[in-house]
């Protein structure tokens, strides 16, 4: 129940309003005394709380036999009204912010950090939804699975290129990296690269391991990291074709020793 109260608060209701509405939904038509007892709202406060809910149309107030009763707005109607208000608010904020953004001078190419798993995944979603020409990726299975629906959708609009690790049946356009001792022993050093249209890029550790990433529109980053992805693809294809696994492993060990 506490989680539900917190979720109500996250959409704009205070603690007492949230508790009162939840109590109303549970009790149905009831008195202020019953709502106070069920919700834990002090009796001295419950009348003001119910008055505010009634003014918002969330509680329905009725006078019967010299007593006042309260009923909740039906849950489906309540949720629909909240969704409608949220959409209207989102639309207004979106338009206002885009107008503010339009008058700002274009920033120099830069790299900024993005913190938090939810924020990183939201950034990935935004980039993939904006993709028009091409998407280049390097993804391990965890990140791939989280982004797969968005990748498939983007693949209908633009070219999808890149390489994935430990993924079964990747979408068309993505190479599957061969299984090697390096891949199997990578541990917590997995990464992701997401490049869209040569305009924006997000890269960093896979989010299941660390919740930080880096967003950039710097051309040097595109050159280095897109070529890094191509290098992985090229070596992977050559090894499959020429059976050079042992030689490459030995050369790599010597380089990093």
Which residue is associated with the tokens 């068309």?
172
- Indicate whether 134 pLDDT > 80: yes
Q: In this structure, which CATH number among 3.10.129.10, 2.60.40.10, 3.40.50.2300, 3.30.870.10 belongs to the domain 111-256?
A: 3.30.870.10
Tally of CA atoms within 13 A in the half-sphere of 124 that contains its CB: 30
- What is the fold of 2-73? Arc Repressor Mutant, subunit A (1.10.10)
What average pLDDT does range 198-217 have in this prediction? Answer: 92
Q: What percent of the chain has pLDDT over 70?
A: 96
- Indicate whether 252 pLDDT > 80: no
Sign of the torsion angle spanned by Cα atoms 47, 50, 56, 59: negative
Asked whether 198 and 187 are in contact (CB, 8 A), the reply is no
Q: What is the pLDDT of residues 169-189, one digit of tens each?
A: 999 999 999 888 888 888 888
pLDDT band at 128 (very low <50, low <70, confident <90, very high): very high
Higher pLDDT, residue 242 or 114: 114
Sort 184 into a burial class: Cβ within 10 Å, 0-12 / 13-18 / 19+: exposed
Predicted confidence at residue 133, as pLDDT, reads 94
Higher pLDDT, residue 103 or 124: 124
Length of the chain: 257
pLDDT-wise least confident of 47-56, 85-94, 96-105, 232-241? 96-105
Predicted confidence at residue 192, as pLDDT, reads 95
Predicted confidence at residue 102, as pLDDT, reads 67
Q: Where are the domains of the chain?
A: 2-73, 111-256
Q: For the chain, what is the largest distance between any 2 Cα atoms, rounded to a whole number of angstroms?
A: 92
d(CA 188, CA 190): 6
Sign of the torsion angle spanned by Cα atoms 206, 210, 214, 219: negative
Q: What is the pLDDT of residues 43-94, one digit of tens each?
A: 999 999 999 999 888 888 888 888 899 999 888 888 888 888 888 888 888 8
Predicted confidence at residue 242, as pLDDT, reads 64
DSSP code of 167?
-
Predicted confidence at residue 205, as pLDDT, reads 94
Crossing angle of the two packed helices 15-27 and 43-55, in degrees rounded to 10? 80
- Indicate whether 150 pLDDT > 90: yes
Nearest alpha-carbon partner for 116 in 207, 224, 216, 25: 207
Predicted confidence at residue 108, as pLDDT, reads 65
pTM of the model: 0.62
pLDDT-wise least confident of 100-114, 120-134, 190-204? 100-114
In this chain, the answer to whether the domains covering 2-73 and 111-256 adopt an identical fold is: no
What average pLDDT does range 237-242 have in this prediction? Answer: 76
């Amino acid at each position: 129940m506490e989680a539900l109260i917190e979720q109500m608060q996250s959409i704009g209701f205070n603690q007492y309003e949230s508790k009162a509405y939840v109590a109303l939904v549970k009790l149905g038509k009831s008195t202020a005394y019953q709502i106070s007892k069920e919700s834990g709202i002090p009796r001295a406060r419950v009348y003001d709380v119910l008055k505010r809910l009634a003014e918002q149309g969330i509680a329905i107030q009725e006078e019967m036999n010299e007593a006042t009763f309260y009923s909740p707005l039906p849950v489906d109607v309540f949720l629909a009204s909240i969704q409608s208000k949220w959409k209207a608010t989102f639309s207004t904020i979106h338009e206002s912010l885009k107008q503010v953004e339009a008058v700002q001078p274009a920033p120099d190419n830069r790299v900024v950090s993005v913190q938090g798993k939810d924020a990183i995944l939201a950034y990935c979603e935004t980039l993939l939804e904006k993709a028009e020409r091409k998407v280049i990726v390097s993804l391990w299975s965890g990140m791939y699975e989280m982004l797969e629906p968005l990748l498939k959708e983007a693949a209908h609009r633009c070219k999808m290129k890149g390489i994935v690790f430990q993924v079964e049946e990747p979408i068309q356009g993505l190479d599957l990296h061969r299984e090697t001792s390096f891949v199997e022993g990578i541990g917590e050093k997995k990464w992701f690269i997401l490049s869209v249209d040569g305009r924006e890029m997000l890269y960093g550790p896979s989010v299941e391991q660390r919740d930080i990433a880096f967003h950039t529109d710097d051309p040097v980053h595109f050159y280095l990291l897109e070529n890094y992805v191509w290098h992985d693809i090229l070596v992977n294809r050559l090894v499959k074709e020429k059976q050079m696994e042992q030689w490459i492993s030995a050369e790599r060990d010597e380089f990093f020793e």
